[in-house]
Chain A
Amino acid sequence: AQTVTQSQPEMSVQEAETVTLSCTYDTSENNYYLFWYKQPPSRQMILVIRQEAYKQQNATENRFSVNFQKAAKSFSLKISDSQLGDTAMYFCAFMRAQGGSEKLVFGKGTKLTVNP
C-alpha cells in the first residue's frame, strides 16, 4: 500500500519570502503521479501542481515549483514570493498510473500561514 508523509504539521513564512513544504512517499510502483493540493478556508481542494513520475524535469506553475527526487521518494513544494492568499492547508497526494480507476492517497497536510 502507498503512504504519503508530510512531516511539517504547520509552517509560517513572511510575505514575499520563499518557503518549502516537504513530502515523502512510499510505493513499489514505477509509474505514478504526485500532486500538491491547496485547501483554503473555503474547503475546496485546489490543484497546485502535478508531477508525472516518468518525467525527470521538475514541474513548475508560476510561483510554485517542486523538487522531485524519485530515488529518494521525495516531492517537496517550493512557493516563491509568498502571498497572503497562499495561506491554506497544503496536501501532498499520490496516485498510481495503472489504468482505469485510481484513487488519491493523501498526506496529513501542512498548515501554511503567510504573515504580512
Chain B
Amino acid sequence: KAGVTQTPRYLIKTRGQQVTLSCSPISGHRSVSWYQQTPGQGLQFLFEYFSETQRNKGNFPGRFSGRQFSNSRSEMNVSTLELGDSALYLCASSLDGMVEKLFFGSGTQLSVL
C-alpha cells in the first residue's frame, strides 16, 4: 500500500510569488491535514480537509489556503510568499482524522529567497 506522497520534495521561490504543494493520501483515507514545521515555531497545524470540506483551521493568515479533491488528494497554496514562509510542509492522512493514526508524508521543503 503506497504511503502519503507529497510533491515536490523541494521548492525554491522568491518573495511575492505564490506556490502550490500537493499531497496524495493513502488509498481509502478521506482526511488530509497540513502542518508547517520551522526551527523556531516547531510544528504547527494549518488545516484539515475531509471529503472535500475544510473541517478545522489553524491560526495562519489568509495567504494560506487549501482544497481537497473528490479523490482525496489535497493541495495547499501560499500566496504572496514571505521569507518567514520558508519551512517544511508536512501532509498527513487518516481514515477520519480523529482517532485513527495519522500517516505522514516526507514533506515539501520550501525555501523563500
- Is the beta-carbon distance between A103 and B58 smaller than 8 angstroms? yes
- Is the beta-carbon distance between A101 and B56 smaller than 8 angstroms? yes
* B26-43 interface bits toward A, Cβ cutoff 8 Å, 1 = contact, 0 = none: 000001010100000011
Contact of A43 among B45, B48, B101, B106 (CB under 8 A): B106
What does DSSP make chain A's interface, helix, strand, loop or mixed? loop
* Contacts beyond the supplied A104-B35, A106-B35: 12 A-B pairs with Cβ under 8 Å: A43-B88, A43-B106, A44-B104, A44-B107, A47-B101, A47-B102, A50-B101, A99-B98, A101-B97, A102-B97, A103-B56, A104-B45
B23: Cβ under 8 A from any A Cβ: no
Q: Which residues of A, 25-47, contact B by the 8 Å Cβ criterion? A: 33, 37, 42-47
**Distance (Å) between the CB of B108 and the closest chain A CB?**
10
Contact of A109 among B42, B44, B58, B88 (CB under 8 A): B42
Contact of B31 among A45, A93, A95, A101 (CB under 8 A): A101
User: In whole angstroms, what is the CA distance A33 to B99 when docked?
Assistant: 8
**Distance (Å) between the CB of A38 and the closest chain B CB?**
11
**B48 contacts which chain A residues (CB < 8 A)?**
101, 103
User: In whole angstroms, what is the CA distance A103 to B90 when docked?
Assistant: 13
Q: Which residue of A lies closest to B41 (CB)?
A: A108
**Distance (Å) between the CB of A12 and the closest chain B CB?**
20
**B109 contacts which chain A residues (CB < 8 A)?**
43
**B103 contacts which chain A residues (CB < 8 A)?**
47
B63: Cβ under 8 A from any A Cβ: no
**B45 contacts which chain A residues (CB < 8 A)?**
103-105
Q: Which residue of B lies closest to A46 (CB)?
A: B104
B92: Cβ under 8 A from any A Cβ: yes
- Is the beta-carbon distance between B42 and A108 smaller than 8 angstroms? yes
